[in-house]
Structure 1
């Protein structure tokens, strides 16, 4: 596949690194910053074009007339939108993905999407803020989870959880799971990380406290599995949000429609005045700085179930989250843009570090991978879980899962058949055409092998 990436920033660079590892992809990155392009070339073997991404000549120099896919993730919404429209004039057959951050553009994306003849010019708009909001929503629905990733339109989820004392399975073997689950409930552990190292997931492995467990189950059965692995956490009710930007504002609007009690703290007085009329009485909007310990104590931070820091400053998010945790807030989630900060938070008291870049990249990868419905990079992008669709001529059709030459580091978690039938993966399950297969790989270098086995390349 010939792919053009507009923008060599964090998202564009990481996307290029991901996609470049797949031999069938030819990547060209466009940016007007030579230093960014040079830095990228020092790390990976891709083509680069220096110039403004929205200029027709730049797009032609990048090979837009022959590309299969163009991903616009440059520094501004306007450049992304204009570049996609010009690219459509050059090559209407190419798939065009456009990142927009502004809510105004998102609200009128249908208007931006069509030309004077009513034809679509942009195949997909991606809003990082909305993706992050949805990501946080799912975490709040699953108390105790570090990640909650949906598959098959939400029928299944991959849950990441750290085991704690009090979990029924801590100190027991994986094969004992079935003895504790109610009849009709099934699950599969696809990965275990102990002290940041992957360990086997065969039935004789004993689960220990502080293991990071990746398991797949039907969404309606998640709570039962959570009880097995850690002490049950009560549903979250009292939420404090630091930051009234697009993410904080939209999150508050979403949560107030449910049974949450929400407080939103914003230090920009004019921003607070702008959003307050659009919040219901279920949300208390407060003017102040979330890094101020007195303000947090005055608002009874110690009684909050969850503190979510989503300001536009990583430093403010980290500091306010550490303060919240020091005041015994049950769960703390922190929005972090700089990847080096995410690494620093791994062994801290902060429960969940949220990376908008990784969430955005996950959404884009689903468009790029042929025969793939969902893709989620995990553990800083080293590991990955994906939802593959078995094609008609797949060599896997008619074979049991234990007959497939997958090897170490690859785990099939589940199969979705006929769109609604969820089958947890066991060795005797036979693959059929159009099955959606959920596969976990401990290293994304194994993806090529996975795709070969299931015939998606």
Structure 2
């Protein structure tokens, strides 16, 4: 597939890294010659220096015969203009745009062909915000990911000394759960290496374990398999930029939120936007400022500034001053690998979170969700099955009979996604959800229309998995 990536920033570079390894013809356009040179040295791709929102540059980049354009520059207007030109002048079939301003999403008609002609619009800052909010709901989770329209949730946790499963084979998990609750371990990492999660695999202290379960059962599963956790009630947010302000706004009604922002004007603006949060003006790596924020009594510290070093320093200091758990946004992978698991509990890469959202719209086949795991080393994806036994390599076949590459596994599936199912938690708590959740077993048979959730321990496996689930050319 011939793909144009407009913008060589963090998101564009992350996309280029992952798409260049999947036999795509890539061209990256940016005004920064040095950024492009770095990408060209590392990956098999073409680069072009220029303004991606101009017709001449798009033509020189090969827009006339491109299959997909991904506009991820830091400028919303430039991304919108590029999509419009790609549609009206070069007839590019699919156009994905990064948009940071929430106003554009208030009126979806702006993305119609007669206006900006955006096939898919994504907001990376909102993707990161949603990820952080899910982590607040599960205090000890390393990652929390949803699939099947929210019907399934995958949670990564660290095995701790004295845990119910530590020292025991995975097959014993079943006896710790109530009869009406099903869950499975989708993946296991030990000392940064994947371990096949068979029934005989024994979990060790420090293992990174990924559970998947129906979303409504997940709290019960975690209660059974982990020690009881106190809910997050006090949160300190360092940095009131786009992500920090969004996170504070999302959490202010459920937690006591304090925002720390060094820029006085920005602090005043955010204070006016937030109804139920306190805003302090000062540096998050200043011990006196953190004392004012009652960091020693806080459950969670979120370092969300635009500077990796500031985030690492502030989060480490917050942990030393008594904060129960700390998270830092860190863009440089070498930093994230170095600090997570030490004083910093979670090192979250905004570029990796955003790249997952874009990859779902970039990859061939009916890919609904792509979630990056372990800072991009692994992926969990949701695919929709099409075809029949004649045109598909998976329809009508048992999971045990699928030709999956080593390191790839089916974790679960959701069937009949358009059929409502009523869940009665109590007489007063009735919920309607769509689709039937089926936890994967070796004899589970895949049907057309199923949403299949797969786990790939290495990102290199993803193209093979996607090809396996594609229908034959003759399928209509």
TM-score, normalised to structure 2's length?
0.90
Name whichever of 433-442 and 333-342 sits farther off: 333-342
Q: Please name the residue that 2:296 is paired with.
A: 302
Query: 1:133 deviation in Å?
Result: 0.8
CA contact (8 A) 1:166 1:231 kept: no
Displacement of 1:81 = 2.2
Aligned to 1:394: 392
In the other structure, the counterpart of 1:14 is 14
1:51-450 counterparts in 2 under 5 A?
A: 51-103=50-102, 106=104, 110=108, 113=111, 118-119=114-115, 121-257=117-253, 259-280=254-275, 282-369=276-363, 370-392=365-387, 393-419=391-417, 420-450=435-465
- CA distance in 2 between partners of 1:31 and 1:109 (Å): 29
CA drift of 1:102 comes to 4.1
Going from structure 1 to structure 2, the CA distance change for 1:11 and 1:299 (only over 3 Å counts) comes to: closer
Query: Which of structure 1's runs of 4+ aligned residues deviate more than 3 A?
Result: 105-115
Deviation at 1:110, TM superposition (A): 4.5
8 Å CA contact 1:170, 1:229 repeated in 2: no
| 1:353 to 1:106, Cα distance in 2 relative to 1, 3 A | farther
CA deviation string 1:32-80 (max 9, x = no partner) = 3333333322222223323221120111122212222100112433322
8 Å contact from structure 2 (residues 86, 92) kept in 1: no
The answer to whether the 8 Å contact 1:164/1:231 transfers is no
After superposition, give the CA deviation of every residue in 1:427-447 in whole Å (9 maximum; x if it has no partner). 110010011111111112222
1:375 Cα deviation from its structure 2 partner? 0.7
TM-score (norm 1): 0.93
Structure 1: distance between partners of 2:26 and 2:266: 40
CA offsets per residue over residues 241-288 of structure 1, 9 Å max, x none? 11122222221211123x3111111222211221222211x3122222
Contact preservation (8 Å) 2:258, 2:280: yes
Offset, 1:408: 2.2
Q: How far apart in 1 are the matches of 2:470 and 2:299?
A: 46
Tell me how far 1:330 sits from its aligned partner: 1.4
Q: Distance in 1 between matches of 2:290 and 2:181?
A: 42
Q: Residues 331-364 of structure 1, C-alpha deviation per residue, up to 9 Å, x if partnerless?
A: 1111122333212213422111111111110110
**Is 425-434 or 80-89 further displaced after alignment?**
80-89
Q: Deviations 1:273-310 (Å, cap 9, x if unpaired)? A: 21222211x31222222211122223321111111111
Number of residues of Structure 1 aligned to a counterpart in Structure 2 = 451
For the 8 Å contact 1:158–1:216, the answer to whether it is kept is yes
Q: Secondary structure at the match of 1:418?
A: strand
User: Conserved in 2, the CA contact under 8 Å of 1:167 and 1:227?
Assistant: no
Q: How far off is 1:151 after superposition?
A: 0.5
Counterpart CA distance in 1 for 2:343 and 2:258 is: 22
Compared CA separation, residues 429 and 271, structure 1 to 2 (3 A):
same
Q: How far is 1:121 from its partner?
A: 1.1
Gap regions ≥5 residues in structure 1:
none
Structure 1 vs Structure 2 CA RMSD: 1.9
Q: Which moved more, 1:420-429 or 1:294-303?
A: 294-303
1:452/1:130 CA distance change after superposition, 3 Å: closer
- Find the aligned partners of 1:124 and 1:442 in 2 and give their Cα distance: 28
> Which whole-Å deviations, capped at 9, do the CAs of 1:153-183 have from their partners, x for residues lacking one?
1111111110112321112110001111011
Q: Helix, strand or coil: the match of 1:318?
A: helix
